[in-house]
Chains A and B, each alone.
Chain A
Amino acid sequence: MEQFGDAVLEDDEFRGDVSYTIKADRLVEICEALHGSAELDVKLLSDITCVDWLGDEQEEKKGRFEVVYNLYSITHHFRFFLKVRLDEDDTKVESLVDLWPGANWMEREVWDLFGIEFVGHPQLTKILTPDELEGHPLRKDYPLTWEQPRFSFNKDDPPEVIK
């Protein structure tokens, strides 16, 4: 990862899992380089997910949302994570669908559940939740028991995130 110089903000190792936090605007460039590199040969995009750090002051300073790309090299048997930090008011990151068609549904899921917008995605629509549901359920400020669409009852008025 040294070759990417100042694009790598932070590296971390926890229980043997290596991760690099990179600048959001360099994501596609770095992924293309890793994908094309004969030495590393990172061809399998295993997963895309997101962590919402709402309420953790130390982490929130770096950006509330942490989008995690789980990459694996089939030839060399190693796994590592690329992480991108996004602020609450600018939840946009470039889509990787052109490089990995498999990213399509993974990005749609993250959009549906976290509201991260993947710029350049061909069909960024809801995938798991019903069309009537407003808000993004896996965000930490989305209430656990709020019922949408309504089947039986909701005890209180809708919270701020849904309105």
Chain B
Amino acid sequence: MAREEKTITMNMGPQHPSTHGVLRVVVELDGETVVRAEPVIGYLHTGIEKTMESKLYYKALPCTDRMDYLAPMSNNLGYCLAVEKLMDIEVPEKVKWARVCLAELTRLNSHLVWLGTHAIDLGAMSMLLYAFRERELIIDIYEACGGQRMMTSYIRIGGLAHDLPADFDKKVRNLIKLIREKINDYEALLTNNEIFINRTRNVAVISAEDAIAHSLTGPMLRGSGVNYDVRKAQPYSGYENFDFTVPLGKKGDAYDRYLIRLEEMRQSLNIAEQALDGMPEGPYRAHVPGVVLPPKEDVLYKMESMIFHFKIITEGFKAPKGSIYQAIESPKGELGFYMTGDGTNRPRRVRVRPPSYINLAALPKLSEGRMFSDVVCAIGSTDIVLGEVDR
């Protein structure tokens, strides 16, 4: 008797532990082979771009924390750099170094969560607990800086919200020392783990040409061996002063991306350490009357500062007419802000180039023709945050 050829369509998510949020994937299966995988998104769409366009420039900042909530400082940094470029503001040296240090701690934060969740997807339960244990220490540093654990809004237009806390240097150095040791533990758990290798080697493979054609960025692109890191290619916030290497993969599979992210964590520790060593003294906010909020100490005692404070809070500042694009290397890839000013105190257009959204678009390419269980690995190794995908 001839076997009937037919496929079944399955619905994965939107509430599924391995989709890292509310992502739905409609999968068409032939036996256990994926014929078609179609991600369905939009469950978290809150119109952040529209909200930002309706607000004064500096009031839109807290919206950025809520996109990629695992890397709030990166988003703050990208947005502030974009506004500073539009307004042509130069920030003090100390701010640049502090921002680099915080951005690299944020990369660690994001990669730790990725490592934990990716490993638990593939069956390594204890990894999640270890990764979250160390992440907690980074969040403590956020709290010491900005008073908030996740939605920090610490990096502000023209500088920082407050000066760095007095024991910042000591705390971060302790953290760097600790995580350096812990990364070796993670490697001992996973890198030579046979189950982990079987689940990730030659899974979710994408070639260099395909990765570029699908506009992938970040570890997804570098996993395929393409050397594109915004920190090196178009340095921002003083990254040209730092000594670090960009790890590259060969095969472009999930295991390569795992190795790259681990190496990136080590490089982040080095960069953060260099930032601490070279941190200059100076003001924590630029002095640009009428655009950058004056420090709170001045507002209480100086007449001009109080007037500017009042003016900026009530009417904001007017940006010139023109469009700029500022990209940074967020933990997920190239995070860009395309901002159009039109001479008023509100932006005409704020476009966020969300790395998660564009990387997720390649999911069909990564999973079609492969086993169903590999879809979980493909989603995990893409490293998406649904808050950023949907915005």
Contact partners of A105 in chain B: CB under 8 A: 357-358, 360-361
Contact partners of A53 in chain B: CB under 8 A: 348
A and B contact pairs by CB, cutoff 8 A, 9 listed: A14-B324, A43-B212, A44-B215, A51-B323, A70-B338, A101-B213, A101-B365, A102-B214, A128-B390
Other-chain contact of B233, A77, A81, A128, A144 (Cβ < 8 Å): A77
Taking the complex as formed, is A15 at the interface, i.e. its CB lies under 8 A from any CB of chain B? Answer: yes
Additional pairs, 16, CB under 8 Å, beyond known A51-B340, A144-B54: A15-B322, A47-B215, A47-B358, A51-B323, A51-B349, A52-B348, A52-B349, A74-B228, A77-B233, A79-B234, A100-B213, A102-B213, A104-B361, A105-B357, A105-B361, A137-B47
Q: Is the CB of B323 within 8 A of A19?
A: yes
Taking the complex as formed, is B334 at the interface, i.e. its CB lies under 8 A from any CB of chain A? Answer: yes
Taking the complex as formed, is B149 at the interface, i.e. its CB lies under 8 A from any CB of chain A? Answer: no
> Which of B216, B322, B325 counts the most chain A CB atoms within 10 A?
B325
Q: Determine the residue in chain A with the shortest Cβ distance to B348.
A: A51
Which of the four size classes fits the interface of chain B?
35 or more
Other-chain contact of B42, A50, A81, A103, A129 (Cβ < 8 Å): A129
Shortest Cβ distance from residue B18 to the other chain A in the assembled complex, whole angstroms = 21
Q: Is the CB of A47 within 8 A of B336?
A: yes
Report Cα–Cα, A113/B86, bound state, in Å: 24
Taking the complex as formed, is A40 at the interface, i.e. its CB lies under 8 A from any CB of chain B? Answer: no
Taking the complex as formed, is B370 at the interface, i.e. its CB lies under 8 A from any CB of chain A? Answer: no
The 3 closest A-B pairs by CB, nearest first: A102-B215, A14-B322, A105-B361
Taking the complex as formed, is B226 at the interface, i.e. its CB lies under 8 A from any CB of chain A? Answer: yes
Shortest Cβ distance from residue B1 to the other chain A in the assembled complex, whole angstroms = 37
A-B contacts, CB under 8 A, total: 105
Shortest Cβ distance from residue B41 to the other chain A in the assembled complex, whole angstroms = 7
Taking the complex as formed, is B298 at the interface, i.e. its CB lies under 8 A from any CB of chain A? Answer: no
Other-chain contact of A47, B323, B342, B353 (Cβ < 8 Å): B353
Contact partners of A17 in chain B: CB under 8 A: 323-325
> Which of B85, B215, B216, B391 counts the most chain A CB atoms within 10 A?
B215
Contact partners of A52 in chain B: CB under 8 A: 348-349
Q: Is the CB of B336 within 8 A of A70?
A: yes
Report Cα–Cα, A137/B233, bound state, in Å: 35
Taking the complex as formed, is A5 at the interface, i.e. its CB lies under 8 A from any CB of chain B? Answer: no
Shortest Cβ distance from residue B43 to the other chain A in the assembled complex, whole angstroms = 9
Contact partners of B342 in chain A: CB under 8 A: 56
Q: What are the interface flags for A67-95 relative to B under an 8 Å C-beta threshold, 1 for contact and 0 otherwise?
A: 01010001001010100000000000000
Report Cα–Cα, A137/B342, bound state, in Å: 20
Other-chain contact of B88, A15, A51, A68, A77 (Cβ < 8 Å): A15
Q: Determine the residue in chain A with the shortest Cβ distance to B360.
A: A105
Report Cα–Cα, A33/B227, bound state, in Å: 24
Q: Is the CB of A44 within 8 A of B325?
A: no
Shortest Cβ distance from residue B207 to the other chain A in the assembled complex, whole angstroms = 13
Report Cα–Cα, A155/B233, bound state, in Å: 50
Report Cα–Cα, A138/B358, bound state, in Å: 19
Contact partners of B250 in chain A: CB under 8 A: none
Known: A47-B353, A102-B358. A68 touches B338 (CB 8 A): yes
Shortest Cβ distance from residue A99 to the other chain B in the assembled complex, whole angstroms = 8
